[in-house]
Structure 1
Amino acid sequence: MTIRWGILGCGEAAEVKSGPALRQVSGSQVTAVMRRDTSKAEDYARRHGVGRWHGDAGALIGDGDVDAVYLATPPHMHLEYGLEVCAAGKPLLVERPMGRNEEEAAALAGAFEAARLPLFAAYYRRALPRFAKAKEIIDAGVLGTVTSVHYRLCHPRLHWAPDPATEWRVRPEVSGGGFFVDFGCHVVDLVDFLCGPIDEVSGHVRSGPGGLPEGDVVMSFRTASGVLGAGAWCFATGMRDDALDIVGTRGRMRLRIYWNHRIELDGDFGSRRLSCPDPPHVYTPFVEEIVSALADRPTPVGSAAAAVRANRVMDTVLGRKAEVR
């Protein structure tokens, strides 16, 4: 069985991350693409050997040669287009975050659940080798009982003074927030994957230069299994730092979310360094899992329920609703 994908929004993500995987994974092919600028949709299609292109979302969703849709627009269009895909009776893979807030994400998840259609959110890092290996290490008890999680990210995104006119990620009406929503959702989802769902969370937020959203964000949390955690994101800096520490009764595991593929283990078992490089196209393991799931083989990646939880946590940290309990 081959899944014939239609890509709705063939921009940057579809160019360098997801598109190559959707085209190259066994059992998967891209048969149509859409972009409002039809000339750009045609250019993408011609360069990547895709036979059909559209300038209208409805045309792609209704295309008889499309079995499933990959929705790669900014978050403000996820609910509207997602509901159209649902009404057409087709599975959907939607970019993350699944909505601008929990309400949108839950509405989309509820529609697909009611229609008994597959819905996946593109939290592709769950399937990358180092995070799959980290899950294996935790589940095998190498760290003992996991007691705490600590994350920090320093990134000069706001230090570069992005222009909201061209950078939609700092326009809350489009993205749902700022760079915390864009970067932080991956971390929230990985904590959910590695240590279980977060059921208590609180946070503090400070604006960046010129009032841009989410210059500094800190959060503290507890998972349903009792793991305590904290995270800090700073986007108004001139340096880079990225570290996820998972601490247990026997030792610590350190991973990098973005810039390093190594796992560092230290504890009563000694010190180990494991190299887990990314594949050439980072979506490849994730797309393999999604194609498997569409063939009725369960997968731990792309969970719509986990994507709704990620939006709920971020809403709480950003003060958009009462503390999660």
Structure 2
Amino acid sequence: MNEIKWGIIGCGDVTEVKSGPAFNKVPHSKLVAVMRRDAAKAEDYAKRHGVPKWYSNASDLINDPEVNAIYIATPPLQHEEYTIAALAAGKPVYVEKPMALNGQAAQNMANAAHQYGVKLVVAHYRRSQPLFLKIKSLLAANTIGEVRFVDLKMLQPKASNIIANSEENWRINPAISGGGLFHDLAPHQLDLMLYYFGEVKQFNGLANKKDPTEPVEDLVTGHILFENGVVFNGLWCFSAPQNEQTDLCEIYGSKGKISFSIFGQFIKVNLNGEEESINFEPLPHVEQPMIEQVVAYFRGESENPCSAEEALKTMKLMDGFTSKNN
């Protein structure tokens, strides 16, 4: 596979800036077709982004002979169905996070990749961004000594500017999203913890619905003990007061602390009471570094940047925190 010719299933808001334009900016990559169930919206997207083909049926896009790789950017409800269909057609898949509605659906996708012998990558794209790679290098260099524990707080009001906009608020419909805003945002955070600290020894959590007007839990706590002894404590609340809005992860070591925002642009390193700030410029297309790695993987030039097996671990953590595996 020399040139990766992409077809997008689900050309909605996430593909407008975050991912879609990057497919034509990465070497050996070209966006040739898009699909959306609303044919008029699919055509509009294609014409605005200079994409030559558009479809209103996913099967038609998957079976287009010019398309040799599929990017699935629908809500999580359709991830399992479309991923397995594309893999069965022999076309490698790059699928958005969360990987699926739940761990069982994610396992089915991973099994299909093995069954058909076709490549599958999950879009935990923050692990490819410069800010988070810098944190990984700081940890590898033992900048803050031996890591003791991690404290993560994600406190957001209902009208949060972090949460992506969409025409319909499907993120709070558990039948479509898997479980509310926690399932939309936590995959980024938990994947980074796995990326930094490795295998999990044990985990548990609690979930509760504090806003009676919403159909999903808006308060989640999660606890992880990693095999290397690092302890993680996470708190997510999506009905917090506006003035308490927080997006902060703090990694405590024997010599100091690394603080950063998962959805921001800064790192702070505190050693012996002295703090150094490292700032990063926003990326024009947040998924472009990951897409570069996916293209290299599909071309046989590098390893899988985030395998189904890795992403499945994140899904199992979320299921555990919200008691879906009980």
Shared fold by TM > 0.5? Answer: yes
Aligned mate of 2:223, from 213, 220, 223: 220
Does 1:295 find its partner at 2:299?
yes
Quick one: percent identity of the two aligned structures?
36
Structure 2 counterparts to residues 110-259 of structure 1, below 5 A: 110-157=111-158, 166-209=168-211, 210-239=213-242, 240-258=245-263
Tell me by how many angstroms 1:158 deviates: 6.5
Q: RMSD of the alignment, in Å? A: 1.8
Tell me by how many angstroms 1:195 deviates: 1.5
Tell me by how many angstroms 1:27 deviates: 1.5
Alpha-carbon distance between aligned partners in 1 of 2:303 and 2:126, rounded to the nearest angstrom: 14
Corresponding residue for residue 106 of structure 2: 105
Worse-superposed segment, 116-125 or 208-217: 208-217
Counting matched residue pairs gives 318
SS of the equivalent of 1:152 reads: strand
Taking structure 1 as the reference length, the TM-score comes to: 0.94
Once the two structures are superposed, residues 153-176 of structure 1 have per-residue CA deviations (whole angstroms, 9 ceiling, x without a partner) of: 11113789xxx9931111111111
In structure 2, the gaps of 5 or more residues are: none
Aligned mate of 1:275, from 272, 276, 279: 279
Instruction: Please say if residues 130 and 277 of structure 1, whose CA atoms lie closer than 8 Å, have aligned partners that are also in contact.
Output: no
Corresponding residue for residue 93 of structure 1: 94
Worse-superposed segment, 44-53 or 196-205: 196-205
Instruction: Please say if residues 158 and 237 of structure 1, whose CA atoms lie closer than 8 Å, have aligned partners that are also in contact.
Output: no
Worse-superposed segment, 57-66 or 17-26: 17-26
Once the two structures are superposed, residues 282-325 of structure 1 have per-residue CA deviations (whole angstroms, 9 ceiling, x without a partner) of: 11111111111112233463221111001100001001124xxx
Does 1:266 find its partner at 2:267?
no
Tell me by how many angstroms 1:81 deviates: 0.9
Once the two structures are superposed, residues 183-241 of structure 1 have per-residue CA deviations (whole angstroms, 9 ceiling, x without a partner) of: 11111101001111333111111114214312111111111221101000110023221
SS of the equivalent of 1:63 reads: coil
Q: Counterpart of 1:186 in structure 2: which amino acid?
A: H
Corresponding residue for residue 64 of structure 1: 65
CA gap of 1:159–1:12, structure 2 versus 1, over 3 A, is closer
Q: Counterpart of 1:226 in structure 2: which amino acid?
A: G
Alpha-carbon distance between aligned partners in 2 of 1:276 and 1:21, rounded to the nearest angstrom: 19
Aligned mate of 1:306, from 295, 305, 310: 310
Once the two structures are superposed, residues 115-168 of structure 1 have per-residue CA deviations (whole angstroms, 9 ceiling, x without a partner) of: 2211011111111111011011111111211111110011113789xxx99311
Worse-superposed segment, 115-124 or 190-199: 190-199
Q: Counterpart of 1:212 in structure 2: which amino acid?
A: P
Instruction: Please say if residues 158 and 235 of structure 1, whose CA atoms lie closer than 8 Å, have aligned partners that are also in contact.
Output: no
Tell me by how many angstroms 1:271 deviates: 2.6
Instruction: Please say if residues 199 and 222 of structure 1, whose CA atoms lie closer than 8 Å, have aligned partners that are also in contact.
Output: yes
Once the two structures are superposed, residues 87-127 of structure 1 have per-residue CA deviations (whole angstroms, 9 ceiling, x without a partner) of: 10000001111110000001101110222211011111111
Alpha-carbon distance between aligned partners in 2 of 1:22 and 1:194, rounded to the nearest angstrom: 27
Instruction: Please say if residues 172 and 214 of structure 2, whose CA atoms lie closer than 8 Å, have aligned partners that are also in contact.
Output: no
Taking structure 2 as the reference length, the TM-score comes to: 0.93
SS of the equivalent of 2:132 reads: helix
Tell me by how many angstroms 1:72 deviates: 0.6
Instruction: Please say if residues 205 and 222 of structure 2, whose CA atoms lie closer than 8 Å, have aligned partners that are also in contact.
Output: yes
